[in-house]
Amino acid sequence: MKVRRLDNKGDWTFGNGLANYAKENEAILQNVATRIKSFKGDWFLDNEANIDWFRLLSTKDTKQIIINEIERVTLETEGVIRIVNLEFMQDNERKAVINLILDTIYTTDIKIGVKI
């Protein structure tokens, strides 16, 4: 698996040839993070893809629904075999931190943190 590497702002990187591509686990983790951060309705080819963050983070008592949605999106990501551990934390300002430990087609127990 190979995808164009993103910079720290989430934009594609250019100008370094093959160095601008993430491979294997890095590509999978980048895809997981991108899919979790993506809002439902953002992709015109599939309006049901991704997570309805606006609704879920603005409504009380949705923690389990959010966790279920993170699990769904993560497990639907190419290369992910299973979720070993998932932690979801939300503060009073509607910001969220997600920590995952995954098994991928390349390795086991790989960690990723995503901030929303």
For the domain bounded by 2-115, which CATH number is listed?
3.10.450.40
CA distance 32 to 12: 16
Q: Would the pLDDT of 94 be above 80?
A: no
Alpha-carbon Rg for the chain, nearest whole angstrom, is 15
pLDDT value at residue 11: 87
Q: Where do the domains of the chain lie?
A: 2-115
* Span of 28-32, 40-44, 82-86, 97-101 with lowest mean pLDDT: 40-44
DSSP 114: E
98 φ, ψ (degrees, to nearest 5): -120, 125
Region 81-101: what's the mean pLDDT? Answer: 90
Q: What is the pTM of this model?
A: 0.88
10 Å CB burial of residue 32 (0-12, 13-18, 19+) is: buried
Residue 19 corresponds to which tokens in the numbers above? Answer: 């160095």
Average pLDDT, the chain: 90
User: Can you name the residues that pair with 87 across neighbouring β-strands?
Assistant: 99
